[in-house]
Amino acid sequence: MRIDLFLKLMGFAKTRMAAKRLCDAGRVLLQGGPAKPSLELIGGESLHLLFSHKEIRVKVKGLPALKSVPKKDRPLYVYVSDLPIETDKTTGF
């Protein structure tokens, strides 16, 4: 399954295009390196998602067989960490 589709199905991005933009901006890392949106996941990978307000580390345990996943059935991923991004108080960055 493509990374951009996985991010959309698991609720990390609202649309597949938004997930693609995250990947293209270098905000999705796979095993520590930048991930292209078309890269295929097979399960067992570690993803690091960098949002403007937090970092999320995800361990992919499995992949859904269908193209839609109810929220209650999303234990296919595990949060390894969900950390707020600290900003410099003087500059705001």
The tens-digit pLDDT sequence of the chain (93 residues) is: 899 999 998 889 999 999 999 999 999 999 889 999 999 998 889 999 998 888 888 888 888 887 777 777 777 676 667 766 665 555 554
Place of tokens 């499995």: 62
For the record, the structure tokens of 1 come out as 């399954």
CB atoms within 10 A of CB 43: 11
Confidence (pTM): 0.80
Domain map of the chain by residue range? 3-84
Q: Which CATH number is correct for 3-84, 3.20.20.70, 3.10.290.10, 3.40.50.300, 1.20.1300.10?
A: 3.10.290.10
Which amino acid does the sequence have at 6?
F
